[in-house]
Amino acid sequence: MTRSTRQRERETAAEQEEDSEEGVRECPECNSDNLVKSSDRAELVCNDCGLVVEEEQIDPGPEWRAFNHQERQEKSRVGAPTTQTMHDKGLTTTIDWKDKDAYGRSISSKKRSQMHRLRKWQERIRTKDAGERNLQFALSEIDRMASALGVPRSVREVASVIYRRALKEDLIRGRSIEGVATSALYAACRKEGIPRSLEEISEVSRVERKEIGRTYRYISQELGLEMKPVDPKKYVPRFCSELELSEEVQSKANEIIETTAEEGLLSGKSPTGYAAAAIYAASLLCNEKKTQREVADVAQVTEVTIRNRYQEQIEAMGIHG
């Protein structure tokens, strides 16, 4: 009986120790869990009553001090973080092309030819087999297309992860590497809330729009990506910016989309066409008229689509054009 009680006490003590390690703590004075670390990270202070709960904490930061970005870069002794956008995750060595030594002096012609050979072999041994070479090609394609579309780094990372998952699940067999890479990028854009239409994606890709759509549907279904329908409002700022329209038109277009979507008009409609029609309607209402042709060119839809969506939207809004 005593033994089991001791065992329970030991287990309770171990749990409390784990809780304290995880940082689940309370202020002993006011029982608040609103504890913050001081600016020099040496003290743990209660934000409500000001009690110093812990002092002389271990600082996990570097031992040096830096006051700007340049100093931080000069003093840092670690390399770049790992990235999914490179086939080797950025962990291999890269030999620079500058042909200069550590002091910035030019090297001799003998050394130069030696470095050239080393570089060549370094590039060759970075990929050990055809699978790695294909992965390297696919990730470089994603990087190229992402640069052309002007999407942020996070989208490239997500696209690379999706492509790696497709490769692991053997979804690439029987499909082109470019097709799967483009579909991964399209899916990543939607996941990150920076949508690009299939037309925009196909413009920078070497694959036809139909194949991109087909491959995207297959990959998203097999990997269970759970994509939500694209919100037309996500396209409004970019389209308005390209058309040089004011903030007033932008907010009016968003209002039109919200009001008409509540009435169920958005169901089954292309989000780019829907956004384009709302921008066209808003530009008329705000006396910043743009032609249907101008809006259609920016949104990459037809004038007929804009006319049809425009008619539906103004009827739903109760505006008679």
Q: Which residues are annotated as a binding site for Zn(2+)?
A: 27, 30, 46, 49
**316/282 Cα distance (integer angstroms):** 14
Task: Report d(CA 209, CA 30) in Å as an integer.
Answer: 63
Q: What is the dihedral of CA 252, 255, 261, 262, to 10 degrees?
A: -150
Rounded CA-CA distance 321/317 in Å is 11
236 by Cβ neighbours in 10 Å (0-12 / 13-18 / 19+) ranks as: buried
Under DSSP, the state recorded for 54 is E
Please name the residue that has the structure tokens 């053997």. Answer: 170
Provide DSSP, 16-44.
HHHHHHHT----TTT----EEE-TTSSEE
Residues at the annotated binding site? 27, 30, 46, 49
